[in-house]
Amino acid sequence: MCADKVDPLDAIIVGSGVSGVLIAKALGRAGKKVLILEAGEKLPPDINGYMNRFLTATAKVPESPYPPEIFTDSKLTDPATVNAGRPTVLSLGHWYKFGDARDPKQAYLIQKGTLPFASTYERINGGSARHWLGTSLRFIPADFEMKSRYNRFTDWPIKYNDLERWYGLAEKEIGVAADVEDQNYLGIHFSSQYPMPKIPLSRVDMAVAKGMTTLKVPGIGLDSTEWKVSSTPAARNSQPYQDRRVCAGNTNCIPICPIQAKYDPSVTLADALRTGNVTVWNRSVASQLVVDEAGRVSGVDFIEYADDQGPIVRRGRITAKVFILAGNAIETPRLLLMSKNERTPNGVANRRDGEGVVGKFLMDHPLYLGWALMPQPVWGYRGPLSTAGIEVCRDGDFRRDRGAFRIEIGNEGWNFATLDPDTTTLDLVNGLNHGGLNSDPPRALFGAALVKELNDKLSRQFRIGFLVEQSPEATNTVTLAEHATDGLGLPRPQIDYNLSDYTKQGMAAAKTTASAIFKNLGATEFTQPADKDDPCSFEWPSDQGQTTRIKYFGAGHIIGTHRMGTSANDSVVDDMQRSWDHENLYLVGSGTFPTSATANPTLTIAALCLRTADHIVRRVLN
């Protein structure tokens, strides 16, 4: 393998998602020479191509606007043929059917666990924050101290106060719209204001808020809670910011904002490139890290390819002073584990003198979904996908026994739940009842009767989603598949995953809470029990002493696998996200989280990365 001839580099960053571009911008502004290796396609000049892909997609799933192609010849593309593969929610289907989660010819992730890992990600410029919702919540102080407060799991090596300043800087960097007064709950405090005022509450939010004052949910450890609706901090413009437009309420935040009012990492990447110190190599997959005799990372091997399923163009090795892995919590451990040789027999950053930790403690926020029909119109489908939630249930002494959750109030009717308005429209036109809103027996309507029925039913729909805290379990792992490779011949990620009783109890409490909210609002619940053959479901005792089957969705939050801590014995990186084993290697992103908490992780990722970038500039590359 020949060395690639490039100008001397201060840093190489693997991945151009939110972690990588924030650090690249900070280093570039400090005059440091940075190269980003990005596995996916280059940044397009505009989003028109992505929009066209989405509008013409057979399935409007989060991954549909972005390359590589999900379908080939009307079936899922074989991941073994794709150079920079990624998972799709379409590969979470029933066994032996379309999208079989355990079929390596349909599913990029090799699922070997009791339950499938249900979240997906992108491998393009901007990473998974291309299709995120924009939710930008801070963690609460208790989230950093689970062991100290509740004798559960482990404490983070930092506390809320250590990150508070960086939260403020992250909110300005990505452009968060919120009001401090709405966010002062459960010990959160602020030393700065948000850069933009909050996005106004939707009609759905206001209707739900009216039912919170009298809500009681017995049996879940929240008896004394004063339930309330809070506006949700969002990286979405409520006024012109960063030369981007104000949110127009397209209700299309996932998978793509059609006017780019929502932040995505291309904004920061453009700033980084404008420094003149940052370069991006696209279609360049990092395949191995090289470690020298002193234990420092000395280089990274890469493979450049021509297109999604095209030939390899070149192979090379590049060197720098500092190496920063900014892939997600699946692709980063994959690269570390692929980097095996006589100096690193367990892979890089995975301790030669004991059992490695890399790839362990994989987490998500398993999502419980409930939906109902309100007694009066609430006018969903107006505004962003979600503008408010119920956050007071994110902490309490109950965390000794079960997972906490936050509640997201949906603003897209039953779109998530039943693919409405399409499903109900087709039901009413064809005399069917797949969505549950046609009468019994189902009627076929047309003309004024159809319009009246659609107006009545669609205007009263709403849904709520519960993002449940998942416990960190060493048995939930990312390893390398033995017999499944991608188009470059590299081993694909193998996932061993399950939900603990602590997490399942949180899911059950979410189900109880959803039904209580619907009842208190006078709404008719239509939540469907999980199909017994649905791989993303589990059985759990119901309140009546029977067994119920609960379905979970992936929240798109890939957490753990290279956790931070105070000791190399049980963690991979320190509080600056620096490898214990290799002093010039940083592993960044939500993979460093020791626990999952309940907040969407992106803002905390951003805060940690700004803190890490400052450390690298001032202490490492000064």
The answer to whether 428 and 454 have CB atoms below 8 angstroms apart is yes
Exposure on the CB side of residue 34, measured as CA atoms within 13 A: 35
Given this model, what pLDDT does residue 43 score? Answer: 86
Given this model, what pLDDT does residue 354 score? Answer: 63
List residues bridging with 461 in a β-sheet. 373
Angle at which helices 422-430 and 447-458 pack, to 10 degrees?
150
In angstroms, the CA 97 to CA 91 distance is 10
Bond into 68 cis (ω within 30): yes
> DSSP letter string over 250-263?
-S-TTT--TT--B-
Q: What is the mean pLDDT of each run of 10 residues along the chain (622 residues)?
A: 69 98 98 98 91 91 94 91 96 92 97 98 94 97 98 98 98 98 96 97 97 94 94 97 94 93 96 98 98 97 94 97 98 98 94 81 98 97 96 98 98 96 96 93 96 97 98 98 97 98 98 97 95 94 85 98 95 98 98 98 98 98 94
Helix (H) or strand (E) holding 19: helix 18-29
State the pTM of this model: 0.97
Q: Over the stretch 338-355, which tens digit does the pLDDT of each residue have?
A: 999 889 999 999 986 667
Buried b or exposed e, range 219-230, using 16+ CB within 10 angstroms: ebbbeebebebb
> DSSP letter string over 342-375?
SS-TT-TTS-TTS---TTB--B---EEEEEEE-S
Q: Give me the amino acid identity at 247.
A: C
**Which two structure tokens, joined as six digits, stand for 230?**
């809070």
List residues bridging with 110 in a β-sheet. 494
Helix (H) or strand (E) holding 484: strand 477-485
Can you give the C-alpha Rg of the chain in angstroms?
24
CA dihedral 74, 78, 84, 86 (to 10 degrees): 80
Tokens 């009627």 label which residue? 443
Tokens 């997201």 label which residue? 408
**Which two structure tokens, joined as six digits, stand for 47?**
């989003």
- As separate numbers, helices (DSSP H) first and strands (DSSP E) second, the chain gives 13, 21
Q: Over the stretch 127-158, which tens digit does the pLDDT of each residue have?
A: 999 999 999 999 999 999 999 999 999 999 99
The answer to whether 340 and 27 have CB atoms below 8 angstroms apart is no
**Which two structure tokens, joined as six digits, stand for 588?**
């960044």
Domains within the chain, CATH numbers bracketed? 1-192+264-364+474-498+559-622 (3.50.50.60), 199-232+367-469+500-551 (3.30.410)
Calculate the alpha carbon distances from 527 to 390, 436, 465 in Å. 19, 10, 11
Calculate the alpha carbon distances from 222 to 306, 370, 509, 541 in Å. 56, 19, 10, 20
In angstroms, the CA 266 to CA 132 distance is 13
Count of CB atoms within 10 A of residue 530's CB? 16
Q: What percent of the chain has pLDDT over 90?
A: 92
**Which two structure tokens, joined as six digits, stand for 492?**
């694909």
Please list, in sequence order, all residues whose beta carbon lies within 8 angstroms of the beta carbon of residue 535, skipping any fewer than 6 positions away. Answer: 92, 93, 94, 95, 101, 115, 116
**Which two structure tokens, joined as six digits, stand for 195?**
């850069």
Q: Nearest to residue 24, comparing CAs of 622, 613, 620? A: 613
**Which two structure tokens, joined as six digits, stand for 293?**
């005799």
Q: Nearest to residue 167, comparing CAs of 203, 143, 132, 201? A: 143
CA dihedral 327, 26, 597, 233 (to 10 degrees): -120
Q: Give me the amino acid identity at 281.
A: W
In angstroms, the CA 597 to CA 560 distance is 12
| Backbone conformation region of residue 153, classed left if phi is above 0, alpha if psi is from -120 to 50, else beta | left
Residue 567, classified by CB atoms within 10 Å of its CB into exposed (0-12), middle (13-18) or buried (19+), is exposed
Helix (H) or strand (E) holding 312: strand 312-318
